[in-house]
Amino acid sequence: MSALPVILLLSGSLRTGSTNEAVLRTAQAVAPSVQVRAVMYGGPAGLPHFNPDDDTDLSLPAPVSELRAAIGSAAGILICSPEYAGTLPGSFKNLLDWTVGGTEICDKPVAWINAAAPGRGRGMEATLRAVLGYTGADIVEPACVRVPVDRGGLAKGGLVADPEVRRQLAEVLGLLAASGARTPVPEQG
């Protein structure tokens, strides 16, 4: 049984067929090429609205405990989120708000992929950078990249077909894994 670093994939979109999720699923598909196991977090829609009164070790909602455990066991985090009204979508900001009170994301290598069309998504990036600063995350700058993906660029099965985009995603995962190499997680199979 080999130990591969786990990169947790967080999508900022709840929409079925989201380009952002397609980018992360493609990252998951190319992860073995760089000796990484990429795991998609599937629970942002199930998180309760953030309430500081509920952010205690005694009464932490189960979905929040699961999110924090997933973050804690990952070697790094890769985010791909759309921009809504010049910032992060509310549901994804809610997910991030739940990480502020915990210590799991502190010093954790984090990066993002901006899949928006050229000239778009800068508000999302700025807000994400600010929120991650509050959490104490370790932003891996070389792994934060703009990889515009159009729905027309998706192959059958909803993955990104462009070999250059796939190469960039593999490179990003490799950078995150190298930054988080101190916490490999045994491969489950």
**Band of residue 130 on the pLDDT scale cut at 50, 70, 90:** very high
**Band of residue 151 on the pLDDT scale cut at 50, 70, 90:** confident
What's the whole-number mean pLDDT along residues 132-147? 96
Residue 37 tokens, joined: 């196991």
Question: Where does residue 1 rank: exposed (0-12), middle (13-18), buried (19+ CB within 10 A)?
Answer: exposed
**Band of residue 2 on the pLDDT scale cut at 50, 70, 90:** low
**Which of 12, 72, 73 has its CA nearest to residue 45?**
12
**Band of residue 119 on the pLDDT scale cut at 50, 70, 90:** confident
Is the CB of residue 40 less than 8 Å from the CB of residue 11?
Answer: yes
Inform me whether the pLDDT recorded for 1 exceeds 60. no
Inform me whether the pLDDT recorded for 115 exceeds 80. yes
pTM of the model: 0.92
Q: What is the mean pLDDT of the chain?
A: 91
Those residues whose C-beta lies under 8 Å from the C-beta of residue 148, and which sit 6 or more positions away, are: 115, 116, 117, 118
